[in-house]
Amino acid sequence: MAITDINGINLSGVTGKLIQTVALTKNPAPQAIASDPVNGHVFVLQMESAAKTPLGNMYLNRIDRTTGRLTGSMYLTGFGHGISMGAQPVGADTYLWTEVGPVSPNDGVSNAFGQAVTRFRFVDGATLDQADVPAAQKFCPPGGRNTGPSVDLANNTLTIVYFKGSVRCFTRYDLARAAQGEWVEVGSTFELPAGAETGLTFQGYTTLGGVLYVYQWKKDPVTTYPGTTYITSYSLDSKTRIDSQVVTGADGLERREPEGLAVEVDPATGETRLLFGFSDTVPGTTGRRNVTIGWYPTQPAVDGVKVLSGWENLNLAAGVQAGAEAPRGRLVAIADTTYLQLRGTLSCSLTADTLVATLPQRLYPTRTVRQNTPRNMYYGVGVCRVEANKLGELWAYGASADNAISWIDLDCFSVAWR
């Protein structure tokens, strides 16, 4: 049964996409994600391979949320595993909340977890060692261990996950005061119910208002990947479970390992979104990993239509021009099905199957989608096939040397999108 929580999030509903298959700084898989939409950034943590160094070292990637380009990185040494992360914009700067060392245990099998949380300014190219972080800038809830922070800018709270004994706990704090070193609790601590992690791997969490969202993964017993991914929501006030659903967003990824939850507030629309990350292998490599981040919307449908991404211009290929109307694309959801819609006209001179444009990152499908569209009539041929693939490439098929395509009308392109 579909459930929409107090935040407007339906875990069985439609999803949008922020970035897709962005290659990260080094080979390891991503661990946590965070968003600073005010300054236009997405941040992704990677844990350095324990086979190389079991000291809890991590790479922090900064990605342009519009283009998907990697714009910077930091190296965090002795910080931990990367359970979760938060981003806090301060003017033109971004301050990150992460776990921090000293780490424990340090057993050489990727189990080096930071025992506190800290806050620091992102500085491109910098290396930050946990030993250089003053003790006064580290915090762990009393009696806790193996920590990880998450930021809810919509409600000015910082949540810390930690183990107390064998119980996974979540405590919220006033974000502004925590940034000043004052740890003022908001509400009461939530303890994950017994059995909630049986047979599942914890892959991250976040909070939005009074709701906790927990990301979990059940590995396939034979192939490991892609396995089954779940998001489970809990009320932090009533201490009860709200919903639990299999996450189907980005289901075309081959490896599709879930990594990281976060929330953001879109500064353009004011919409609050629940972000979820997946990792995949960069094509043509054996170990380099990338990240895809999808999101659940919170705004309701209007007249049965929910706009997941407004009209954005396509990036036209060399030799292709805009016709009377600039080629654009958007995502809309109608009756729980998401559609990629295109509009505008392409002016061209195609004599073979050709790449004609590239979609904005938010419109990349996870699987190839296609539509027959009008083109110039020539010897009874008046349509061509237009396809969009998971690299965001828009191809036109059907042209030949003796049957050239001089224009393509995209207005009828409306296909079910993954």
Let me know if residue 4 belongs to a domain: no
In this structure, of 104-108, 187-191, 272-276, 301-305, the range with the lowest mean pLDDT score is 104-108
Residues 129 and 266 placed together within one structural domain of the fold: yes
Residues 69 and 132 placed together within one structural domain of the fold: yes
Let me know if residue 398 belongs to a domain: yes
- Asked which of 296, 330, 353 is the last residue of a domain, the reply is 296
Give CA–CA dist 110/168, Å, rounded: 19
Mean pLDDT of the chain: 93
- Asked which of 274, 296, 318 is the last residue of a domain, the reply is 296
Let me know if residue 126 belongs to a domain: yes
Let me know if residue 8 belongs to a domain: no
Question: What is the reported pLDDT for 190?
Answer: 98
Let me know if residue 231 belongs to a domain: yes
Residue 37: CB atoms within 10 A of its CB come to 18
Question: What is the reported pLDDT for 51?
Answer: 54
Question: Domain limits at 86?
Answer: 16-296
CATH number reported for the structural domain that contains residue 265 in this entry: 2.115.10
Count of domains forming the chain: 2
Let me know if residue 162 belongs to a domain: yes
Apex 265 CA angle, 263 and 266, nearest 5: 125
Q: Which residue has the higher pLDDT, 222 or 214?
A: 214
Give CA–CA dist 225/332, Å, rounded: 30
CATH number reported for the structural domain that contains residue 353 in this entry: 2.60.40
pLDDT digits (tens, 9 = 90+) for 314-343: 999 999 999 999 999 999 999 889 999 999
Residues 162 and 269 placed together within one structural domain of the fold: yes
- Is the pLDDT confidence value at 64 over 70? yes
Residues 108 and 175 placed together within one structural domain of the fold: yes
Residues 113 and 262 placed together within one structural domain of the fold: yes
Residues 267 and 359 placed together within one structural domain of the fold: no
Question: What is the reported pLDDT for 164?
Answer: 95
pLDDT digits (tens, 9 = 90+) for 230-239: 999 999 999 9
For residue 15, give the nearest of 220, 278, 312, 368 by alpha carbon: 278
| 130 phi and psi angles, rounded to 5 deg | -60, -30
- Is the pLDDT confidence value at 110 over 80? no
Question: What is the reported pLDDT for 138?
Answer: 98
pLDDT digits (tens, 9 = 90+) for 18-49: 999 898 887 788 999 999 999 999 999 998 86
